[in-house]
Amino acid sequence: MRLKFTKIILMLAVAGMVSACGNKTEKSPDKMVRTGIQRIMTEDNQFNFSGSYQTEFIIQNNENKSSSEITEPIIASEVSASEEYDDDDTSELTEYHRKQMDLYNKSIGKFLGQFGKSFSVPFTGAVDMKKGVMEVIPEVRYEDKNVLISFKFPTYLDFNNLSLYLDGSAITHLSDTMPNNKMVIGDKYMQFAVPQDKAQHIPVADLLKSLPKSVDDGYASIDPSAFKKVNVDEFGKTLEAKYQVNLNTDYASSLKYNTVLLQSLSKALKETAAKADKNNKYKPEDYALLGNIIDALASIYSDSDNALADTPMGAYLEKLKNKSNLMVNNFYFDSKGRIIGVRFKTDLPMAITGMEEPKGTIRIDYKFRMDYTGSPKFTMQPTPQNSINMGSRLGWY
């Protein structure tokens, strides 16, 4: 009887474990993403990663448009300012320039198309938030038949001393040999740091502590129906993903997400400052200074007071708000409910380059995969001995 009772207890325990494991993934799609993001930021925050960033240029073709649909403000002004041509001459001139513009757009389109196919930015890196450090090694790469150009720029970010370390040897190995060079870098890392007298007044630890909740507040601001659980796609299969959730938003939703995140951070800092006593490491003005910076960033995204109405930034953000183009975020999960990969795809208008012609679209494809080793491997180990403080060397402080 005792043995039978023991078997029943074991069966119930196993059933409970299976149910618990199932609950990690049997959630609504939005909760799956939000929970996965929180795990990255609070639990599984020691990992290596890799990925790539690629662009595709799609140039608009004017062949199928009538001449009345093509606007040539420069040509029109030139013609109206001249009295040497009659209406027929003007018509012929405009048609000639239209054809020339079509040829130009075709040639530019071919060039950018080929460039986009050959150009990429693969990257690797590591994150150890328990130690407050992060590394990313981007590779600017151009590869095609009989040609390979590659530059790597290993970068190391240390939140403890607010420093960024850059291995610029891809360039400095040559610049060090230039005549009259007064700043030889050699084999050392370049350190770009916030001056110590200022760094000690920036409550970074409190900021990072508040970040997970603020990120979750940002995702909570997105309509839950925008999250869809779908079949695992080809990229997900290369990750051996068990589940996939797609988040389709637009630029307006993205701006709202950033605004809510920053406003949440600002609120958290104010609450922390209010609770701080006289023995706290930071003073109220320290929190206020960082809070003002975050509020300024939030106002840029929200532009609630139209402060940017007559600025290039304001005009650009207004265009983004009115864009209906999708921003597609694919999240890939393993059987434990952890996010093991992300893919981001979107289209941007060519106009963001500041050029009126050629008209077209820049298609962005960003892939990111995580490897949860528990003990991430770093290639850079910056120390005061193997680094050069560029701020001091350049006389910035």
The predicted pLDDT at position 12 comes to 46
The predicted pLDDT at position 62 comes to 55
The predicted pLDDT at position 108 comes to 79
Mean pLDDT by 10 residues, the chain (397 residues): 45 46 67 97 95 88 46 37 50 73 78 89 96 96 94 96 95 88 89 90 92 96 95 97 95 89 95 86 90 89 63 63 75 96 90 72 93 93 94 76
Q: What is the dihedral of CA 81, 87, 89, 91, to 10 degrees?
A: 100
The predicted pLDDT at position 24 comes to 47
Q: What residues does each domain of the chain span?
A: 39-250+325-393
Residue 338 sits at φ, ψ, to 5 deg, of -85, 145
Nearest Cα to 59, choosing from 282, 311, 391, 357? 357
The predicted pLDDT at position 17 comes to 46
Q: Using CB atoms within 10 Å of the CB of residue 167, give its burial: 0 to 12 exposed, 13 to 18 middle, 19+ buried.
A: buried
Helices (H), the chain: 2-25, 29-42, 73-80, 87-118, 169-175, 196-199, 204-220, 234-238, 251-275, 284-302, 312-322, 390-393
The predicted pLDDT at position 69 comes to 39
The predicted pLDDT at position 197 comes to 86
The predicted pLDDT at position 380 comes to 96
Which residue reads 């050959």 in tokens?
Answer: 118
Amino acid 321 reads: K
Q: State the Cα–Cα distance between residues 135 and 154, nearest whole angstrom.
A: 7
Q: State the Cα–Cα distance between residues 26 and 260, nearest whole angstrom.
A: 27
pTM of the predicted model as reported, rounded to 2 decimal places: 0.80
The predicted pLDDT at position 159 comes to 93
The predicted pLDDT at position 315 comes to 65
Q: State the Cα–Cα distance between residues 287 and 296, nearest whole angstrom.
A: 14
The predicted pLDDT at position 48 comes to 97
Q: State the Cα–Cα distance between residues 2 and 15, nearest whole angstrom.
A: 20
Which residue reads 């694919």 in tokens?
Answer: 330
Residue 139 sits at φ, ψ, to 5 deg, of -120, 115
Taking phi over 0 as left and psi of -120 to 50 as alpha, with beta for the rest, 273 belongs to alpha
